[in-house]
Amino acid sequence: MKKHILLYCLGLLLCSFPGWGQTKQTAQTAAVPREGKSALPKDAVARATPGAGKFTDLGPQVGAAAIQGSVFAKDDQGREMAYTVVRGEPAHLLGYDVQTNKLVVDLPLKKTDGVWDLAVSSDGWLYVPSASGYLFKHRPGTQQIENLGYTLSGETYLWDLAAGKDGEIFGATYPGCRVFRYHPKDGFSDVGKGPLVEGEKYVRSLVYHEKTGKIYAGVGSHAHLVELDPRTGEKTEFLPQEFKDHEFVYNMSLLPGVKGGDRLLALITRGGENKSLVINLNTKKVEQVLGNLDVRSASLSPDKKLVYYTSNGKLHTLDLTKPAEQAKEVMATSGAITMNWSKGEGLSMITSGKEVVKYNPATGKSTVAKLDVPELPIPIQSVMSGPDGRIWTAGYVAGGHGVFDPATGKTITLKGLHQTEGMAVQGSRIYFGVYPHGRLYVYDTRKPWDMAQQNPRLIQQVQGQSRPFAIASADKKGTIFFGMVPEYGLLGGSLLEYEPQTDKLVDHKAVMENQSIVALCHQKNMVFGGTSVWGGIGAHPTEQEGKLFVWDATTSKKVFETVPVPGAKAVTCLKVAPDGKLWGVAGGTLFTYSIEEKKVLTMQELYFISEERANNFVWRDAFLVMHPNGMVYGTANDELFVVNPETMEFQKLEKDASLLTLGKDNKLYFRRGTHLWSYEP
């Protein structure tokens, strides 16, 4: 995109920003719980960049001991081990001796922050698919791990694995909706010979049918169930029409040897609604529709009579030849991530509660051993300056919040909320937009953080909506606006308005047809919104350009819309300057806009977007801060920059910097991976 500035009177522009240096912010005080303090890391770094101010590394802010992919494996001496992966940067592969419950393997998985599955091949190797597209290989019980590299060109995320025959392993990928095969002698190959379903991005779940050598793959963001012959590449779809309005075939497990035919359990999802299908592989017919089960870990008893599964905090058994109503509760337990049967010992489970649970059906007795899972720093997902001047951060995937106090240099951690995409303040309250399924929360900072006492309190979960990145406080009216990205596979993000006095949430629906609302700001009862042509992942855009729109908060009507930067796919940031002009970023271009004249005043290229990159979906990129020193600071394309509003001179200050907020101390706070940094101009 060529650098260009629209013709505009320079004299007028130079007069547009009087008194920015005198702009003051009134600090508000509120009580936030201070228990669980952690000191600023000893290795915190402060440094000065000549002519640019001081940067300080404030250290990791949010930690979690969240485990996902798990499996039982035996080392070469026959010792049974429980393997799991704890999220972090980097994530760690953990191996525990099941007999002693001791951690005996702890290996960092470089360049990845998490893993969704683990699988053991028929020749005893443990394979680890990463959230960065790499496949790792590990011999159980050893202290070595090998990065085998990327599986298939262009595939940047790996989901399920399935062990085939003779040491081969199969894996599910994103964004090409493909299935790979790996064998130590053959390397990687694309056994589906391209996307399993044209136009889809995810192969989300995968199982291998030993009897036939076929693979069963679950696809999204529009649900498909595919039988794949990995030797020929032949693909056959068999999800019944009545379930094709769902988003994902999300998880699966195979139950071989059931009377009447091997069964496939498949969890299908749509928003917050989950169903578990029981499919007879002989007939390809759905025999039962069960509730929301932990499908991936479901396991058939050795006598092939009962399926064991967890659901809603309990272990259940069910005879698949009988109605689901006849399922029996066995014991209370956390949800199982994986199950394994041992001769004479019964059933073993690794649970989401970080436990190894053993249950012996013959005796009815059970044991629970807690795994010592270390807490690791997780990436920062959002940053905001709180009502009392402390800096709030939120954790990626595992959720949780860190609250940094600039006065003491200490951070407290607050647990309970999932992945927070956006935050905003109104008075003493903080509003959170939480993924998944469009959940909106409010926290009263005058009271203790206590999930059990509904503080934060769930306002509502919004049907059909997923990610609330954009939140703006309409202070004069006393309401809060949320801009939404819809659920997977859908277009059209809602504009939501919440009225705290009546606890009423109004869905203004898709104010901008077929676009997501990813940026919001407010001034004088007018809400300014920026859109992205992309909806939920897997939905194909129908619009060509991101737009700027104006919403009248008094009449609840859209009064204007325009394309501020021709060709840009998303308007990711909007901010009203002290002089009343609107600043924004669309694509890689910074623009200023006259609200009164309804026209773009200036455009400044921040970074170049190639034609190939222009087709990659974007919900969030840029952030802007109007600093009391008169300058405009921002982050975009993972760089911190400054703009002189009088001359529009643009300067890059720092790489590897994203998100941005202005503290009450007039310092800028931004993210670098798991660390919070401050910048003092």
What are the pLDDT digits (tens) for 388-425? 899 999 999 999 999 999 999 999 999 999 999 999 99
Rounded CA separation 259/264 (Å): 13
Q: What is the arithmetic mean of pLDDT over 484-492?
A: 96
C-beta of residue 419 within 8 angstroms of C-beta of residue 468? no
Altogether, the residues listed in the chain come to a count of 681
In eight-state DSSP terms, residue 296 is G
Band of residue 45 on the pLDDT scale cut at 50, 70, 90? low
- pLDDT tens digit string along 341-386? 998 789 999 999 999 999 999 999 999 999 999 999 999 999 999 9
Confidence at residue 223, expressed as pLDDT on a 0 to 100 scale: 97
- CA separation (Å) from 588 to 567, 607, 638? 11, 5, 12
List strand residue ranges (DSSP E) for 386-542, in order.
Answer: 391-395, 401-405, 410-414, 420-426, 429-434, 439-444, 457-461, 465-474, 479-486, 495-499, 504-507, 516-523, 526-532
Q: What is the arithmetic mean of pLDDT over 540-568?
A: 97
Amino acid identity of residue 549, one-letter, is F
Confidence at residue 46, expressed as pLDDT on a 0 to 100 scale: 54
Confidence at residue 39, expressed as pLDDT on a 0 to 100 scale: 33
- pLDDT tens digit string along 92-107? 999 999 999 999 999 9
Looking at the whole model, is its pTM more than 0.95? no
- pLDDT tens digit string along 247-259? 999 999 999 999 9
Confidence at residue 16, expressed as pLDDT on a 0 to 100 scale: 33
Q: Which residues of 146-163 are buried (b: 16+ CB within 10 A; e: fewer)?
A: ebeebbbeebebbbbbbb
120 DSSP β-pair partners: 126
C-beta of residue 585 within 8 angstroms of C-beta of residue 591? yes
Structure tokens given for 384 = 């905001």
- pLDDT tens digit string along 598-631? 999 999 999 999 888 888 889 999 999 999 999 9
Q: Which residues of 119-135 are buried (b: 16+ CB within 10 A; e: fewer)?
A: bbbeeebbbbbbbbbbb
Confidence at residue 47, expressed as pLDDT on a 0 to 100 scale: 52
Residue spans of the domains in the chain: they are 42-61+377-680, 299-368
Tell me the average pLDDT of the chain: 92
**pLDDT at position 32 over 50:** no
C-beta of residue 133 within 8 angstroms of C-beta of residue 147? no
Q: What is the distance, to the nearest Å, from the Cα of residue 98 to the centroid of all Cα atoms in its chain?
A: 32
Closest CA to 433 of 465, 479, 406, 389: 465
35: burial class by Cβ within 10 Å (0-12, 13-18, 19+)? exposed
Confidence at residue 50, expressed as pLDDT on a 0 to 100 scale: 43
Band of residue 667 on the pLDDT scale cut at 50, 70, 90? very high
Closest CA to 483 of 528, 525, 445, 450: 528
Q: Is the peptide bond before 436 cis (omega within 30 degrees of 0)?
A: yes
Q: What is the arithmetic mean of pLDDT over 20-44?
A: 33
Confidence at residue 511, expressed as pLDDT on a 0 to 100 scale: 94
Structure tokens given for 446 = 């005058």
Confidence at residue 7, expressed as pLDDT on a 0 to 100 scale: 33
**Cα Dmax for the chain:** 88
Helix-strand-coil split of the chain, %, nearest 5:
5, 50, 45
- CA separation (Å) from 632 to 195, 306, 519, 668, 672? 45, 65, 18, 11, 20
Q: What is the arithmetic mean of pLDDT over 253-271?
A: 95
Rounded to the nearest 10 degrees, how much is the dihedral formed by the CA atoms of 348, 352, 354, 360?
A: -20
- The 3-state DSSP class for residue 189 equals strand
Confidence at residue 476, expressed as pLDDT on a 0 to 100 scale: 87
**pLDDT at position 3 over 70:** no
User: So what's the architecture of 42-61+377-680 in CATH?
Assistant: 7 Propeller (2.130)
C-beta of residue 82 within 8 angstroms of C-beta of residue 350? yes
**pLDDT at position 20 over 80:** no
CA angle 209, 214, 215 (to 5 degrees): 80
> Which has more pLDDT, 189 or 35?
189
Rounded CA separation 359/271 (Å): 34
Structure tokens given for 331 = 């014991």
- pLDDT tens digit string along 84-94? 999 999 999 99
Rounded CA separation 393/183 (Å): 42
**pLDDT at position 155 over 50:** yes
Q: What is the arithmetic mean of pLDDT over 462-472?
A: 97
> Which has more pLDDT, 485 or 10?
485
C-beta of residue 113 within 8 angstroms of C-beta of residue 131? yes
Band of residue 38 on the pLDDT scale cut at 50, 70, 90? very low
- Enumerate residues 6+ apart whose C-beta is below 8 A from 54: 46, 47, 48, 679, 680
C-beta of residue 240 within 8 angstroms of C-beta of residue 249? no
Percent of the chain with pLDDT over 90: 88
